[in-house]
């Protein structure tokens, strides 16, 4: 089956060209001068539209266990929503519970996702129990295509690792060439601030922000960078939200250290003012790190331009407002941490293009090409080139839409961007050559998406 996508503007991390794209089966067969090819079984007219490599969301949490509940999207609903938003690959997190092994954890996550996904997917491994056996198993994870390990400087007693444990895991990362992903917030200090606030009777959602100040993200980021320097491990800072943390990353990169960082749309568009909404409304915006003062947003956009922030991921981790966020009414520390977003990353970052914050090339690079390279998927993913998987998005840059929970496809009862007007919209999405979304209609199926065994990071000095 050959599909010709003709008349569009093909985007890549180096810019835009008028070109036709021929898809043969699951892969891209040719990218040609417009009009050169005419023979195909199906023709998709892309006139007036961008033709870009499918988005890669390198940070999602489908059906993630958290404090006795699970994030609301399953692999089935979450990957379908991702497809609607022009994302054709997710990398989700398998979560090691203390006292369990990495490989049994990986099996468990394979079981959750296998047969359920609309688009291709990979896994990172969350390491929460560092011991001799775990460290040894990191080698097997890399062999099994899971080449990145997330650790936490936050959440003492749950996922938290000490500096010594982090150092040990980093040594193993250096040895295997794998990447340590860090949730960089000083959880020990934060727990004190949380206890103090609760003791003073301050239980509102906004306290989540006040008790996790940006300085404690900056400090933890610097400490993680230092530990990575001592061990030589590649380091990737997840969900960077604060100017202080960005400065630490920029400094390390200037010195040539293998330090990378992602930010998320919520930190570019939302702020602590949302957390401070009246009543319990702010619970919708509780995620860690917390939404910051608006003054951080300009720094984050600059970081995206200078490549000190090289990836935009969503940290999609939806909990319903009604029965899940409710768990923390009166005690903000019990509000499940996380926000929905997998469906709207491409659209929200396109607003950055419209506003002149980033170029078209940077949009594609931060949302697709760099995540592919960062996590060992390039050139299979992240580029429209002969031989690459035909994961392709047709995007109408002039369409207008309004984000709303009434129309989104994520299995969560609210939108963090309710009522936001967007210029641009996904019209058609191909996953390995198959049209899975077309003009708002779903043509995909659970189980079309396959597990992606990943190589190592492709950016190391």
Task: Give contact residues for Zn ion (rule: CB under 5 A).
Answer: 116, 183, 315
Q: Which is nearer to ligand URP, 244 or 337 (CB)?
A: 337
Q: Which is nearer to Zn ion, 183 or 362 (CB)?
A: 183
- Please give the Cα distance from 84 to 242 (Å, whole number): 30
* Binding partner selected for residue 53 from ligand URP, Zn ion, none, CB under the kind-specific 5 to 8 Å limit: none
- Please give the Cα distance from 74 to 78 (Å, whole number): 6
Q: Which is nearer to Zn ion, 297 or 314 (CB)?
A: 314
337 near ligand URP (CB under 6 A) = yes
Least distance from ligand URP to the Cβ atom of residue 411, Å: 16
287 near ligand URP (CB under 6 A) = yes
Least distance from ligand URP to the Cβ atom of residue 287, Å: 4
* Binding partner selected for residue 116 from Zn ion, ligand URP, none, CB under the kind-specific 5 to 8 Å limit: Zn ion
Of 310, 298, 237, the C-alpha closest to 267 is 298
Contacts with ligand URP by CB under 6 A: the residue count is: 9
Q: Which is nearer to Zn ion, 399 or 451 (CB)?
A: 451
User: CA-CA distances (angstroms) from residue 84 to 378, 425, 430?
Assistant: 23, 10, 11
Least distance from ligand URP to the Cβ atom of residue 347, Å: 21
288 near ligand URP (CB under 6 A) = yes
* Binding partner selected for residue 338 from Zn ion, ligand URP, none, CB under the kind-specific 5 to 8 Å limit: ligand URP
Q: Classify 3 in phi/psi space as left (phi over 0), alpha (psi -120 to 50) or beta.
A: beta
Q: Which is nearer to Zn ion, 183 or 253 (CB)?
A: 183
- Please give the Cα distance from 389 to 258 (Å, whole number): 28
* Binding partner selected for residue 287 from Zn ion, ligand URP, none, CB under the kind-specific 5 to 8 Å limit: ligand URP
Least distance from Zn ion to the Cβ atom of residue 446, Å: 8
Q: Are strands 65-66 and 311-312 parallel, antiparallel or unpaired?
A: unpaired
Contact (CB, 8 A) for 91 and 56: yes
* Binding partner selected for residue 6 from Zn ion, ligand URP, none, CB under the kind-specific 5 to 8 Å limit: none
- Please give the Cα distance from 197 to 210 (Å, whole number): 9
Q: Which is nearer to ligand URP, 112 or 239 (CB)?
A: 239
- Please give the Cα distance from 210 to 193 (Å, whole number): 8
Q: Which is nearer to ligand URP, 341 or 444 (CB)?
A: 341
* Binding partner selected for residue 362 from Zn ion, ligand URP, none, CB under the kind-specific 5 to 8 Å limit: none
Q: Which is nearer to ligand URP, 183 or 325 (CB)?
A: 183
- Please give the Cα distance from 287 to 293 (Å, whole number): 14
> Which residues lie below 8 Å from residue 82, measured CB to CB, with a gap of 6+?
55, 57, 60, 88, 90, 118, 119, 342, 343
| Number of residues assigned to the chain | 461
Q: Are strands 87-95 and 55-60 parallel, antiparallel or unpaired?
A: parallel
Chain positions 217 to 276 lying near ligand URP, rule: CB under 6 A, are 239
Per-residue x/- track, 183-222, ligand URP (CB under 6 A): x---------------------------------------
Q: Which is nearer to ligand URP, 344 or 350 (CB)?
A: 344
Of 29, 227, 311, 317, the one binding ligand URP (CB under 6 A) is 317
Q: Give the binding site for ligand URP (CB under 6 A).
A: 61, 183, 239, 287-288, 315, 317, 337-338
């Amino acid at each position: 089956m050959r599909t010709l996508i003709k008349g569009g503007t093909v985007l890549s991390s180096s810019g835009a060209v008028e070109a036709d794209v021929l898809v043969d089966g699951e892969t891209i067969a040719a990218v040609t001068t417009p009009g050169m090819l005419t023979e195909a079984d199906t023709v998709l007219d892309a006139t007036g539209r961008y033709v870009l490599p499918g988005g890669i969301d390198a940070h999602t949490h489908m059906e993630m266990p958290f404090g006795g509940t699970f994030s609301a999207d399953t692999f089935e609903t979450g990957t379908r929503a991702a497809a609607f938003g022009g994302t054709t690959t997710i990398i989700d997190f398998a979560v090691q519970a203390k006292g369990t092994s990495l490989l049994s954890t990986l099996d468990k996550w394979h079981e959750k996702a296998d047969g359920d996904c609309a688009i291709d997917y990979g896994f990172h491994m969350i390491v929460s129990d560092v011991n001799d056996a775990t460290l040894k198993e990191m080698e097997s994870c890399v062999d099994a295509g899971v080449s990145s390990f997330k650790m936490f400087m936050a959440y003492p007693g749950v996922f938290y690792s000490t500096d010594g444990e982090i150092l040990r895991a980093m040594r193993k990362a250096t040895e295997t060439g794998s990447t340590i992903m860090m949730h960089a917030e000083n959880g020990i200090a934060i727990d004190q601030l949380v206890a103090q606030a609760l003791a003073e009777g301050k239980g509102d959602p906004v306290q989540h922000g006040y008790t996790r100040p940006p300085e404690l993200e900056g400090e933890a980021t610097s400490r993680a960078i230092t530990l990575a320097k001592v061990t030589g491990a590649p380091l990737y800072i997840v969900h960077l939200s604060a100017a202080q943390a960005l400065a630490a990353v920029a400094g390390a990169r200037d010195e040539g250290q293998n330090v990378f960082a992602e930010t998320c749309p919520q930190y570019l568009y939302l702020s602590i003012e949302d957390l401070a909404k009246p009543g319990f409304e702010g619970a919708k915006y509780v995620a860690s790190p917390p939404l910051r003062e608006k003054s951080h947003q300009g720094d984050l956009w600059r970081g995206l331009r200078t490549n000190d922030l090289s990836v935009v991921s969503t940290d999609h981790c939806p909990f319903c407002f009604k029965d899940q966020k409710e768990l923390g009414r009166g005690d903000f520390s019990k509000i499940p941490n996380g926000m929905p977003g997998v469906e709207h990353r491409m659209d929200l970052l396109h607003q950055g293009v419209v506003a002149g914050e980033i170029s078209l090339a940077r949009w594609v690079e931060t949302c697709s090409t760099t995540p592919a390279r960062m996590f060992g998927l390039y050139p299979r993913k992240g580029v429209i080139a002969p031989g690459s998987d035909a994961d392709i998005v047709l995007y109408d840059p002039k369409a207008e839409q309004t984000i709303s929970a009434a129309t989104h496809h994520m299995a969560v009862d609210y939108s963090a961007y309710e009522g936001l007007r967007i210029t641009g919209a996904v019209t058609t999405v191909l996953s390995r050559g198959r049209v899975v979304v077309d003009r708002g209609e779903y043509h995909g199926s659970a189980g079309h998406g396959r597990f992606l065994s990943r190589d190592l990071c492709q950016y190391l000095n």
